[in-house]
Copies of this chain bind each other. A is one copy, B any other.
Amino acid sequence: MTATTHDRLDLAQVDELAAQLRVDSIRSSTSAGSGHPTSSLSAADLLATLMSRHLRYDWDHPDAPGNDHLVLSKGHASPLLYSAYKAAGVIDDAELMQGYRRVDQRLEGHPTPVLPWVDVATGSLGQGLPNAVGIALAGARLEHAPYRVWVLTGDSELAEGSMWEALATASHYGLTGLITLVDVNRLGQRGETALGHDMDTYAARVEAFGAEAVIIDGHDIAQIDEALARADGPLDRPLVILARTVKGKGVPEVEDQDGWHGKPLPEQTATSAIAALGGERSLQVRGPMPPAAEPVEHAPRGAVELPAFTVGEEIATRKAYGPALTALADADPRVVALDGEVSNSSGVADFVEAHPERFFEMFIAEQQMVAAATGLATRGYLAYASTFAAFLTRAADFLRMAPISRVDLRLVGSHAGVEIGADGPSQMGLEDLAMLTATQGSTVLYPSDATAAAKLVVEMADVDGVSYLRTTRGGYPVLYGADETFPVGGSKTLRRSDQDAVTLIGAGVTLHEALAAADALAEDGIHARVIDAYSIKPIDAETLREAAAATGGRVVVAEDHHAEGGLGAAVLAALAKEPITDLYLQHLAVDGVPGSGTSRELLSWAGIDAAHIAEAARRALEG
């Protein structure tokens, strides 16, 4: 059991490595008392062959630009992945045995980029492959790098539509550097998958979606090796290797049996299984080194020359997005954009024209759009992804995973709220703020005019984590001159006097309504403070508290969103961070299912227009 380092094992030695990976998968999960050994055992031969003979990877330099990428889409097979890391010599046996699934340790239940060899977090099935498409897209279209992206998926996760969005996208973009290994072990969590071992149907699906399918016995090292060698090309399509495997392979007590998903082997079973597999080993194995590749050097960002908008001019914030992003991209080569086949509506069309090589059409596949942005972000690109605010909800689970992947994502959601009018409720984003504010570490911005929108597009470039810009369909007057700045976490107080009796808070379209309400109130001699809360998260708590205090705790918040998780909730949470002694809040938000109508009709129906804001202010004053 001495450690031996091999460069590119002979085929005959791969079996030994596979046995070691199996043994270590069993040891680590049994030691942790949880984990998925049987899902690891089915893929051990695939990973052993890949890591020892095909994965071109400089383990001492995980950031080497020529390194291949390995995405474990079936993230629950983490014991296998971590066992491979041990075999590569980048973690030791002690960490594997004492760190796996333990608190404050990096060998988490499902892999995350806390580990330097992991690109994206996995564990929500059906996301690894879509993310890998983004990495492959970066390599092929932007970095022009020699790396391949290897993805190990399960068969259960092929039930997720996102996997087919991924293959369709990969074939559309001709990503021949994307190689997917499917561990078809027949058994999902609770029993057999829909297709079981029907390899031909899988192959037909893969081929129909534009990839090359190769069916192999996933436990025959020679077959695996031959299939993996096809990655060396030439290929004219993405490659998908469909490996027929046995769940639990190598441990007869659990092989191909129901009821063993996500369960570590009991101590005694583990001991006998390890013995039957030939006991512990300490092989150290590294495969081929990556080809030489220069890191992509991006020139530092130059001055961003934003378009200027004339105060008073009516323009939709969504229409400021494209020109602003174009200006940012002119100054920063890392900026790329994606869109869900609505570029003429979301506003990004100007960018598409100016920087076509940095634009990726994702068609109507929002999950893939966010996943590709995630993959691009892992490669250092500033990825902006846009569609209607309503349809960003399609990618909620991908947005949930983004903070776990530690990526910076920039999202732009247009056509927010009932303001869109005639198209009706299916097109109205009324839940997007709730989704985005609840995203870990997120930043949520909602500009009221084109100047603010353009400036915030640039601000987002320097924001960590998931950031979101919400834009409006209709045109509204430009409020701010070109010199105004819009720091994240700030706000603008547009009306303010020493006699202010009530505070009106709006963002986006409701800010314009709040201004009109203030005008109406002024006619009755009521002074209203008006705050543009363009930064919903983080919110300018100090300004809000000061305004509330100055206006006797009388605060009206109006928002074109449901009452939960949006601007009103953010204002209230900010105020409640300190003791509250005096607050009379009027929260106007959308309740009920809207129909069609004009913007004005629907803002009135929802009770969030100027008349309702003024009325709420009067209520507060009477209250």
Contact = CB atoms under 8 A, between A and B. Distances in A.
The winner among A114, A122, A210, A576 for most chain B CB atoms within 10 A is: A576
Contact of A157 (B123, B162, B364): B364
Given A168-B194, A204-B208, A597-B102, A564 B437 contact: yes
Nearest to A106: B595
A288 B164 CA distance: 38
Nearest to A166: B161
Contacts of A562: 438-440
A76 B244 CA distance: 43
Contacts of A537: 564
B596 A585 contact: no
Contacts of A440: 430, 562, 591-593
Nearest to A592: B440
Contacts of A439: 431, 562
A195 to B, nearest CB: 9
Nearest to A164: B164
Contacts of A441: 592-593
A317 interface: no
A91 interface: no
A103 B569 contact: no
Interface string A549-574: 00001000000001111101110110
A365 to B, nearest CB: 5
Nearest to A78: B424
B363 A159 contact: yes
A155 B371 CA distance: 22
Contact of A159 (B121, B123, B341): B341
Interface in A575-623: 576, 579-585, 587, 591-593, 595-598, 601-602, 605, 623
A342 interface: yes
A161 B159 contact: no
Contact of A579 (B341, B565, B623): B623
Number of copies: 2
Interface string A185-199: 000111001100000
B579 A569 contact: no
A310 interface: no
A103 B573 contact: no
B596 A101 contact: yes
A434 interface: yes
A597 B160 CA distance: 28
A285 interface: no
A569 B580 contact: no
A397 interface: yes
Contacts of A434: 434-435, 437-438, 564-565
Interface string A28-44: 00001111000000000
The winner among A208, A572, A581 for most chain B CB atoms within 10 A is: A208
Given A108-B595, A341-B156, A390 B124 contact: yes
Contacts of A595: 103-106, 108, 114
28 contacts: A35-B422, A101-B422, A108-B424, A109-B426, A110-B423, A112-B425, A123-B426, A159-B168, A159-B341, A160-B394, A164-B164, A189-B345, A190-B349, A201-B210, A204-B207, A366-B397, A390-B397, A393-B397, A393-B400, A430-B438, A431-B438, A434-B435, A435-B435, A440-B591, A569-B573, A579-B623, A580-B583, A581-B581
